[in-house]
Structure 1
Amino acid sequence: MFLDVDGPLIPFGAEPQQYPTYALGPDLRGADANPLLARIDPQHGAKLAVLPCEVVWATTWMDEANECIAPLLGLQQLAVVVWPEPSGVDDQDEREGLHWKTRTLVDWAAGRPFIWVDDEVTDVDRAWIAAHHEGGALVHRVDARRGLTDGDYAALAVWLRQPFGENLV
């Protein structure tokens, strides 16, 4: 499962006072700490841990997701998608409405079934993945104003119960 951070784990876009905040550990409370980290509900860790799949950070946070976010969630270090340098293909994709992450995630999955959890995915991404990826894929859009909800976790669990085999990313 490819997991974005901003939107799914750190809700944004509504009035700041609408978000509950959670305690941060001493390492994350300093002057340099990202104030949005306090919006991460630590219960996400347990909910992610029970899903029968490998979770991979698919975020611009890259390695910082393991440094800052995994400890808040009680998760071990996760694999991190390393994004390629922008190219001319990216410009064409953007004009056509394809998310800049889509090609890289399909390449990473290498034909295996996968879930992509993000707040920016669209039907263009779903159609492109269906046409260019041999394995099953659930492209799950999360409302960035709410972040991952129990309903989202239920949808992910239902999809994961399908008979895709053992090697889900």
Structure 2
Amino acid sequence: MSRPLLFLDVDGPLNPYAAQPERRPEGYTTIRVPLASRRPLRVWLNPAHGPALLALDYELCWATTWMAGANHWIAPVLGLPELPYVDFGAGLFVDRPDGVHWKTGAIVAYAGGRPFAWVDDEQSTADAVFVADHHSGPALLHHVDPRIGLREGDFRTLAEFAAGLSAS
């Protein structure tokens, strides 16, 4: 059996963008990503997250608006290899009338029935219902507080979910 997928959002779980803007969290480094339309984007990343993610029993996949850009800007800081990514295409930021997040359908389609965990800061009950109704395999939608990003407890939850899949 192949390993489950771990869909990774950047802003929120890896970049705690909602933390106090004048206080970089301990253990994080700052990168500045140039943007054509405005001043550079400040991104906080914790290099310890890369080894912790690689130690999990998952196939990692970006599920972020950064898409391929995550391999250029985020992966090197975390020590991650180039990862596949969900291509959200023209569906970026298109609100759905049913309250389901605009990423959810594309993530379910990408998973194609494979077990997955998805870490993000914008999931809701509507997303969990959509996944339950449209995905045939086990799934964990794990919310991460964008003020603090991924923590030890989050990694433990992800490891327990993957271990539970192996045991069944």
Shared fold, TM over 0.5: yes
> Which of the residues 111, 119, 122 maps onto 1:120?
122
- Partner of 1:159, secondary structure, is helix
- Partner of 2:156, secondary structure, is helix
Question: Per-residue CA shift, 1:4-28, capped at 9, x if unaligned?
Answer: 000000002232123326446xxx6
Identity %: 45
1:10 corresponds to: 15
1:1-169 correspondence to structure 2 within 5 Å: 1-20=6-25, 22-23=28-29, 34-37=40-43, 39-86=44-91, 91=95, 94-163=96-165
2:3 corresponds to: none
Deviating more after overlay: 100-109 vs 11-20: 11-20
Residues 30, 140 of structure 1: alpha-carbon distance in 2 compared, 3 angstrom cutoff: closer
- Partner of 2:141, secondary structure, is strand
Identify unmatched segments of 5+ residues in structure 1.
Answer: none
Q: Report the structure, 1 or 2, having the larger helix content.
A: 1
Task: Provide TM-score, normalisation by structure 1.
Answer: 0.84
- Partner of 1:85, secondary structure, is helix
- Contact residue 29 and residue 45 of structure 2 kept, 8 A: no
Question: Per-residue CA shift, 1:57-99, capped at 9, x if unaligned?
Answer: 1001111100011000111100011113239xx55xx221100
Residues in 2 aligned to 1:30 and 1:118: alpha-carbon distance in whole angstroms: 21
RMSD (CA atoms): 2.3
**How far apart are residue 162 of structure 1 and its match?**
1.2
Residues 30, 146 of structure 1: alpha-carbon distance in 2 compared, 3 angstrom cutoff: closer
Identify unmatched segments of 5+ residues in structure 2.
Answer: 1-5
Residues in 2 aligned to 1:155 and 1:164: alpha-carbon distance in whole angstroms: 15
